[in-house]
Amino acid sequence: MNRNRNLTPPEADEQATLFSWAAMRTGKYPELKLLYHVANGGLRSKSEAARFKSEGVKPGVPDICLPVARGPYHGLYIELKRQKGGKISEAQKKWLTELSLQGYLAMVAYGWKEASQIIEEYLDAKGV
């Protein structure tokens, strides 16, 4: 029996797959060229963490940003989690709430497929 069969891909793999998907969809959605990852997470040494904090890195900022206005929104932020077992931190909840209050669509997606659906609905102006 393969024990890995029930494991979901790590968040980094989900994100890499999402960006591969986005690269393939730029023909339909040229705006996807503006999609980027906010390199805010990861394990860091104490000195690196202190330096990044002094440079403006803040805990809880969503992983992905699409700075494209649609409907009533200024842009889209997505906190990407693995398909199963991903949990939202309090700092992430606060950021999602604050971004929503500022006129952004800020959502959580569990896995790259859910994130891609959110992005397509957003770009099609279906009001996710």
Asked which of 14-18, 45-49, 122-126 is least confident by mean pLDDT, the reply is 45-49
Residue 75 has pLDDT above 90, yes or no: yes
Of 58, 65, 90, the C-alpha closest to 15 is 65
Report the alpha-carbon distance of residue 66 to residue 76 in Å, rounded.
5
Q: Is the pTM of this model over 0.75?
A: yes
pLDDT in tens, 49-74: 788 788 888 889 999 999 999 999 99
CA distances to 40, 56, 63, 64 from 119, in Å: 21, 27, 14, 11
Instruction: Provide the β-strand partners of residue 37.
Output: 64
Domain boundaries, given as residue ranges, for the chain: 10-123
The dihedrals phi and psi of 36, each to the nearest 5 degrees, come to -145, 160
CATH number of the domain located at residue range(s) 10-123 in this protein: 3.40.1350.10
Residue type, 38: V
